[in-house]
Amino acid sequence: MTETAMVGKITTTGIGGGSNEILAGIETSVIRIREYVNNVETTDSNALSGTILAESETGTIINVNNPYNNDPNFPETQFIFTPIELITGQQYVVEWVVGSGAAVYVSTVDGLYDGGQAYDINGSNIGLSRDSPMGVWKVVPVVPEGSTCETAIVIAAGTYENTGIPAGSGTTEPEMGSATGAAWYSYTPETDLTLTISSEISVANGGSNDTRVHLYSGECGALSHIVSNNDGGANATSVITHNVDADTTYLIAWDNGLESIPFTWELSESPI
């Protein structure tokens, strides 16, 4: 599976200069992330042709003194992006579009680069002696509530509107196959009772959805599968009836192995 990361911010002490125009120059500078084409393009005498994937807001000084050598001519500056998903291990190019009065001196793990409009983020053609670190900040995507076991929605007996199966943690049950996403719910009964989980109410309300539902106990990451159902109710709906124990937390997952359209379902309790 391809691993990716969401990038939303770049910080650097590599942009600055020696004049009173530094502040204005930084505040009119932006950074672009481009597709990588070749190493030749990333020297200071070549135009870049890789597709622009993202462009930052203009720079903002977040520390007027350089935290590495206390140099006010090269303050710590941040550039904010609308978060962009990049592939882990893939090469990209960072282009500096520098405002009047400012210059760029950037270092990477592999080497250093002086002056030009861009540098190769992997540093393969960089070789001058400067020391201005750059940090690329990952953004943790917001996980929709109920899209994973860990974010399961806590519920009690009642009727629920499932607005669709979100992408996230799916399910894998040998008798049913796997699913890429599921709507997760957490339920803890106060007494020993018989639990019924059913999407048949969708039919009664004039809807129709070919649903699948699973019941688990245990902790996320080490769940114990109890029972699943597909087509146990009318019109391809699902029904589970199972005795449950007081003060035990159960996880309910409606997955997208068949459909992911909105539907209504209910959880009801009855004495054993």
pLDDT of residue 70: 73
- Give backbone dihedrals phi and psi of 61, rounded to 5 degrees, phi first: -75, 125
Fold classification of 149-270 is Jelly Rolls (2.60.120)
Whole-angstrom distance, CA of residue 96 vs CA of residue 103 = 9
Q: Which residues contact 150 (CB under 8 A, 6 or more apart)?
A: 143, 220
| Of 16-20, 77-81, 88-92, 124-128, highest mean pLDDT | 77-81
Spell out the long-range contacts of 107-111 with Cβ–Cβ below 8 A and sequence spacing 24 or more.
Answer: 107/14, 107/131, 107/132, 107/133, 107/134, 108/134
What confidence tier does 266 reach under pLDDT thresholds 50, 70, 90?
very high
Identify the pLDDT of residue 8.
85
Q: Which residues of 234-256 are buried (b: 16+ CB within 10 A; e: fewer)?
A: eebbbbbeeebeeeeebbbbbbb
End-to-end Cα separation, the chain, in angstroms? 45
Residue range 182-228, pLDDT digits in tens = 899 999 999 999 999 999 887 665 556 778 899 999 999 899 999 99
pLDDT per residue over 44-90, tens digit each? 556 778 899 999 999 998 888 777 667 777 788 899 988 888 887 78
Structure token pair of residue 227: 């029972």
